[in-house]
């Protein structure tokens, strides 16, 4: 119970800082790049369909005019539906490039006594974001099959699966800035139950449209508080 109260406290602090200009900047960049990518992908698919499908053809003596226009319209519809499902994971991947700024904003407001954190190289951030996007899509595709088996427990399974993934990703991101990749992995192993609990809290809003776009920012901010709280407690216990 104590862990849940502490995690909710971390989450509340993150929500209270949502109006921070640095938070807003990261949100706008992540969502803006996502919309641009999905729009470009839609245009590319329409262009491809228009180039491959003839303007008219005949089957068994019946002529069909402008099938390219019909298929192009259908392609736009399919891409719009696909975008609903792709928006959150793609936005999470793009926003992941800038979440270091969110952690900096949290630390500058709540932990000004800390020394500057190590900047995560853009190459590392890119690799982690792409890996995370691939893992979350793959796991959710597998989970989608299992949802038909577990029936009414599907939402709980969704939160648990994504909670594990989100918790792992955000804690790693925050901890790497302070103790490096190996140190972050060690810290993650020490605190995995609490990390999973906090990740599940982050996963719950994923099923709420619009709200789910704020999850990456709230996750990075929440786990910044969680990391410093857990590691400070651990240091205090060790020093006794």
Can you read off the two tokens belonging to residue 28? 């706008």
Residue 194 maps to a domain: yes
Residue 45 maps to a domain: no
| Confidence (pLDDT) at 75 | 73
Residue 136 maps to a domain: yes
Residue 190 maps to a domain: yes
Query: If we measure between CA atoms, which residue out of 102, 87, 79 comes closest to residue 133?
Result: 87
Residue-wise DSSP of 120-171: PPHHHHHHHHHHHHHHHHHHHHHHHHHHHHHGGGHHHHHHHHHHHHHHHHHH
| Confidence (pLDDT) at 51 | 65
Write out pLDDT tens, residues 90-143: 776 777 778 889 999 999 999 999 898 877 666 776 777 777 777 777 776 777
Domain extent at residue 117: 2-20+89-239
Is the predicted pLDDT of residue 238 greater than 50, yes or no? Answer: no
Residue 44 maps to a domain: no
Write out pLDDT tens, residues 9-18: 999 999 999 9
Write out pLDDT tens, residues 144-192: 677 777 777 777 888 888 888 888 888 988 998 899 888 999 999 999 9
Write out pLDDT tens, residues 28-78: 888 888 888 878 888 877 777 666 655 555 554 554 555 556 666 777 777
Residue 204 maps to a domain: yes
Residue 42 maps to a domain: no
Query: How many domains are there within the chain?
Result: 1
Residue 226 maps to a domain: yes
């Amino acid at each position: 119970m104590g862990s849940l109260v502490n995690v909710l406290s971390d989450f509340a602090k993150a929500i209270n800082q949502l109006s921070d200009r640095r938070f807003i900047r990261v949100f706008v960049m992540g969502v803006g790049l996502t919309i641009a990518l999905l729009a470009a992908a839609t245009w590319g698919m329409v262009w491809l369909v228009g180039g491959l499908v003839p303007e008219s053809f005949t089957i068994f003596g019946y002529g069909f005019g402008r099938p390219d226009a019909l298929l192009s319209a259908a392609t736009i519809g399919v891409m719009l539906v696909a975008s609903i499902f792709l928006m959150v994971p793609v936005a999470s991947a793009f926003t992941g490039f800038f979440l270091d700024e969110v952690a900096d904003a949290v630390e500058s407001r709540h932990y000004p006594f800390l020394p500057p954190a190590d900047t995560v190289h853009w190459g590392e951030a890119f690799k982690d974001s792409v890996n995370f996007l691939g893992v979350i899509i793959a796991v959710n595709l597998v989970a989608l099959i299992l949802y038909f088996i577990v029936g009414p427990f599907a939402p709980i399974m969704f939160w648990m699966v994504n909670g594990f993934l989100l918790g792992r990703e955000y804690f790693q991101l925050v901890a790497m800035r302070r103790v490096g990749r190996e140190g972050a992995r060690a810290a993650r192993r020490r605190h995995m139950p609490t990390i999973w609990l906090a990740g599940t809290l982050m996963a719950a809003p994923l099923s709420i449209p619009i709200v789910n776009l704020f999850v990456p920012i709230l996750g990075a901010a929440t786990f910044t508080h969680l990391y410093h709280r857990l590691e400070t407690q651990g240091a205090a216990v060790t020093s006794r």
